[in-house]
Structure 1
Amino acid sequence: MADSAIVTPGAPAEGAPGTDAKRRHDPAARGFASDNYAGAHPEILAAIALANGGHQVAYGEDDYTAHLQDVFRGHFGPRAEVFPVFNGTGANVVALQAVTDRWGAVIAAESAHIHVDECGAPERVGGLKLLTVPTEHGKLTPELIDRQAYGWDDEHRAMPQVVSITQTTELGSCYTPEEIRAICDHAHEHGMKVHLDGSRIANAAASLGVPLREFTTDAGIDILSFGGTKNGLIFGECVVVLNPDAVRAMKHLRKLSMQLASKMRFVAVQFEALLSGDLWLRSASHANAMAKRLETAARAVDGVDIIHPVQSNAVFAALPHDVSERLQKNYRFYFWDEPAGVVRWMCAFDTTEADVDAFTAALAEEMAK
């Protein structure tokens, strides 16, 4: 190879703008810790570059954010209203505040992200009470909701006003449209609203093989958090209001909650790239397929126990603690329940068959020691 063809790591491609930044990671590195570890999809990077240059009105008054309303309505129906925010916790807190009073409470699964992984933000920042219920595979049912759905006239108890479900769940399972419709009908009969945490909503649609609106708008969901960063975006999530009659003053609430981006066009254009075509579905379907490949290979390894149904891009397994620790020296992944030896393996839009095969070969080698 001629010297002129050698590209220094971190250097720009020929004709690209220069930068003083340097690459500080190995782009060939792969792991199974989180779909958040993946970089940005090339089509998302191209969209951001497209939206760059010139001046656009700030704080969501730009052309890209205006068009985003039509993009989301194409998936969720003509009454949908979309409000881009910075991150998933922000989306959940803003959405839940929008459908609760100051004395309100939210019923959720004990494993819900809003309960386990958001540092108390719904309660401390949102000012609401979480009422949790133990579940199987992270899924609520009308019967489980009834364990907390009582006491609306008791001034000594926070009033249940919202049911929050996660799709796909934190344990990788997926609600069917019929299951969500039953939850929504039950909640609405009690005067409660329903929020859907959709950080991996694209993986659910890919798993179910149905349009997004079939298990959201058509099933009775009032408001949802729509995830992007786990499916190839750099930053940004959205609050999607499906029932405008259920909320009030969303613009003010978003600003009050410190979730109003000044250069919102760069959030909006990512979602336009994701949802205007089939990028969202292609990426999620691929991640799901890689998780299925991982599950199949891991099940074939003696001593590995898959403990939850693999219905999205997550695989939960139980294996000896020392095996996990040895594997973690070369592959990043998290313990889910360390005392029980349960780990979580996540696949992303850029996970390859070779990545899965190399990891499961290492798994088999370590288990055989």
Structure 2
Amino acid sequence: MTDLHAPAVRHFASDNYAGVHPEVLAAVAAANVGHVPAYGDDPWTERLQDVVRAQLGEQAVAYPVVNGTGANVVALQAMLPRWGAVVCTESAHVHTDENGAPERVGGLKLLTVPTPDGRLTPELVARQAWGFGDVHRAQPGVVSLTQSTELGTVYTPEAVRELCDQAHALGMRVHVDGARLSNAAASLGLPLRALTTDCGVDVLSLGGTKNGLLLAEAVVVLDPSAVDGVEYLRKAGMQLASKMRFVSAQLVALYEQDLWRRSAHHANAMAARLRAGIDAIGTLQVTQPTEANAVFVRLPADVAQALRRRWRFYDWDVADGTVRLMCAFDTTEQDVDDLLAALRSAVGGTGPARTTPV
């Protein structure tokens, strides 16, 4: 069969560009035997419930879905009445990268706040958490935070707990978009529950695709009293897979042992290597702390153009030249070093470093 792409080239645009981890492919193949009941009444989905309870606490219940947008929309719909609203950052994935799905499909109102590093704080939440009982205002019911954030930063357990305490005191719930939760936990050297259940998080969108899965995410309910009708909303939202064993088998492979941590730790390490190399060049400005698997750096237009002859990466802020360089579970040291060599060649010369604190 003719190759459809250059398999030796690994890009820096997104961890979604990466393939599927071999251990996950093996798990899918192992599940591909005989006939089992459809729509989640299968041994792999049953096993997944044991896995999420072990990772996230005895009350945790997983509802596998097929993509992250679906996980977020189903989770938020289940947490809110029709008149409810979600407080999130302006950079939140649910606001910027889901084509209005929470509004169009979920019928929700997003109340956004600006933040310089992608993280919410109680002070920022307070800007939108008001108007309770006012019939003219969408009612704030959920605080949604992303871990790790869209800007590659990480919430500490203390920060998550503070947000949960504030939200619960106001009668609100807390949702975590955990598309890269594994990267955050690996960065801090903590178990998954230390950033979620133990902090008071109510519902989690548990990521998989960005950490080596083929097509698998999950809505994980940590507090059963925080939701209503998840199973019906999942079906109505076109997120109920008929052959769910293949979705669940991937999640089991990732989270039953330590594959999630190994893969995320490697991606983070490659980002740290990339960040160190950029700092060593000395003339480029890194715009965000490098705390997970992303590096944000300002590149002159000619430098970015030179790099794009070989690699794909995303413009983050066209106005000031900021780009995002993302590492994945399969990014190699050689991949990073090749990019750095091309970057040094394109920049030419060195000078005083201008970076933000890590």
TM-score normalised over the length of structure 2: 0.96
Q: Deviations over 1:340-368 (max 9, x none)?
A: 10000000000000000000000000011
- Deviation, structure 1 residue 53: 2.1
TM-score normalised over the length of structure 1: 0.93
Matching of residue 62 in structure 1 with residue 35 in structure 2: no
Which residue of 1 is the match for residue 355 of structure 2? none
Which residue of the other structure, out of 220, 228, 241, is the alignment partner of 1:261? Answer: 241
| C-alpha distance in structure 2 between counterparts of 1:47 and 1:183, whole Å | 37
Matching of residue 293 in structure 1 with residue 282 in structure 2: no
Which residue of 2 is the match for residue 73 of structure 1? 53
Unaligned runs of 5+ in 2: 350-358
- For residues 189-268 of structure 1, the aligned pairs below 5 Å read 189-268=169-248
- Deviation, structure 1 residue 288: 0.1
Which residue of 2 is the match for residue 180 of structure 1? 160
| C-alpha distance in structure 2 between counterparts of 1:26 and 1:56, whole Å | 38
Matching of residue 161 in structure 1 with residue 141 in structure 2: yes
Contact kept in structure 2, 1:83 and 1:238, CA below 8 Å:
yes
Q: Secondary structure of the equivalent of 2:197?
A: coil
Which residue of 2 is the match for residue 84 of structure 1? 64
| C-alpha distance in structure 1 between counterparts of 2:195 and 2:259, whole Å | 20
| C-alpha distance in structure 2 between counterparts of 1:90 and 1:317, whole Å | 31
| C-alpha distance in structure 2 between counterparts of 1:257 and 1:242, whole Å | 21
Larger-gyration structure (1/2): 1
Residue identity in the other structure for 1:113 = H
| C-alpha distance in structure 1 between counterparts of 2:107 and 2:231, whole Å | 18
Q: Secondary structure of the equivalent of 1:143?
A: helix
Which residue of 2 is the match for residue 315 of structure 1? 295
Residue identity in the other structure for 2:119 = K
- Deviation, structure 1 residue 94: 0.3
| C-alpha distance in structure 1 between counterparts of 2:309 and 2:102, whole Å | 35
- The 10-residue stretch of structure 1 (300-309 or 193-202) with the greater mean CA deviation from structure 2: 300-309
Q: Aligned-residue CA RMSD in angstroms? A: 0.9
- Deviation, structure 1 residue 136: 2.2
Which residue of 2 is the match for residue 101 of structure 1? 81
Q: Deviations over 1:125-146 (max 9, x none)?
A: 0001000001120000111100
Which residue of 1 is the match for residue 101 of structure 2? 121
How many aligned positions are there?
A: 349
Contact kept in structure 2, 1:90 and 1:257, CA below 8 Å:
yes
Q: Secondary structure of the equivalent of 2:331?
A: coil
| C-alpha distance in structure 2 between counterparts of 1:269 and 1:23, whole Å | 28
Which residue of the other structure, out of 314, 326, 339, is the alignment partner of 1:346? Answer: 326
Contact kept in structure 2, 1:100 and 1:162, CA below 8 Å:
yes
Question: Identity percentage over the alignment?
Answer: 61
- For residues 141-160 of structure 1, the aligned pairs below 5 Å read 141-160=121-140
Q: Deviations over 1:40-78 (max 9, x none)?
A: 000000000000021110000111001100001000001
Q: Secondary structure of the equivalent of 1:340?
A: coil
Contact kept in structure 2, 1:302 and 1:367, CA below 8 Å:
no
